[in-house]
Amino acid sequence: MNTNQQNYLLLSLLILIWGSSFLLINRSLLSFSPEQIVGYRLLIGSLVMVCIAFFNGKSLPSSLLPWLHFSIFAVIGNVFPYILIAKGQVNISSGMAGLLMAVMPLATLILAHFFIPNDKLNRYKIIGFVLGISGVIFILGPTLNDNSNTVFGILLVLAAACSYAVNTIFATRLPSYDPLVSSSCVLILASVISFLIWPDIFYFKFVDLSLISGFSMLLLGIFPTAIALVIYFNIVNSAGATFLSNINYLIPVVAFFLGAFVLGESILWHNILALLLIISGIFISRFRI
């Protein structure tokens, strides 16, 4: 297998892993609270990442400044969006959550215009943003009369998408670190912060744990939280960020149809239209003048 084939294989694997995370959250909610999902997935993920980092001969930084930067990523890129998504999925389907997360690159366009030099809006980015927001409107309108999804849940997930966008801006502006080290440190800090914020996480009654929820939580911590980061950085180092950006088109599709086929969630015409509009918006926004 040549390098190009390997990159596409890793990209496909990453799409499946991140696309399935919303399904795993849905199943975890059968036994865990949103706070417990955040805490335990981060704990499992941090343990996995630390093992991977040490296996590769990495050591954690000894100075304070990197840890301050990692704490920003831990809060904005992990704890905050994780709890918003978990709480949002109490009120909306997993497919809807995955669809809404496609707004993240569109929100990044707007933030980058103001905070990243040489990344200003152009006509393609503006058209793409308008298309993407139109897709969100197509979701919000019928949702007012749809009992399976609530506007509150949708707004929580949209806020999570914006939080990921803000984290992307911080990651661009702050110094870069070794990917394995930064991932390990961020997950460690995020795990500690979540257990400090929600100490009731400790009092989970494992006798009430269903097999499907426990297995989903384990998979959620190992794959979308930890292993996906290793794959992510391997793709970036091998093929670059532009190649990696293709995931923005496909993760919402995987999440949406996994929810439909595995959980029996409804596939409504306005959701399909919203999905097409948002993905078209992402696609057009990447055109170059």
Distance CA 31, CA 220 (A): 14
Residue 269 has pLDDT above 80, yes or no: no
Return the percentage of the chain with pLDDT > 70, whole number.
94
CA distances from 100 to 24, 30, 110, 227, 248 (A): 17, 22, 17, 23, 11
Give the start-to-end residue ranges of the domains of the chain: 3-285
CA neighbor of 226 nearest in space, from 83, 41, 99: 41
Q: Give this prediction's pTM.
A: 0.89
As a whole number of Å, the end-to-end CA separation of the chain is 36
Residue 141 has pLDDT above 90, yes or no: no
Local confidence band at 240 (pLDDT 50, 70, 90 cut-offs): low
CA neighbor of 225 nearest in space, from 56, 85, 109: 85
Residue 239 confidence (pLDDT): 72
Q: What is the mean pLDDT of residues 169-196?
A: 90
Q: Which two tokens stand for residue 113?
A: 């215009």
Residue 149 has pLDDT above 90, yes or no: no
Residue 238 has pLDDT above 80, yes or no: no
Name which residue leads in pLDDT, 163 or 282: 163
Are 111 and 166 spatial neighbours (Cβ–Cβ below 8 Å)?
yes
DSSP H helical ranges for 116-173: 123-143, 151-173
Model confidence over 114-135: pLDDT tens digits? 988 887 888 988 998 888 888 8
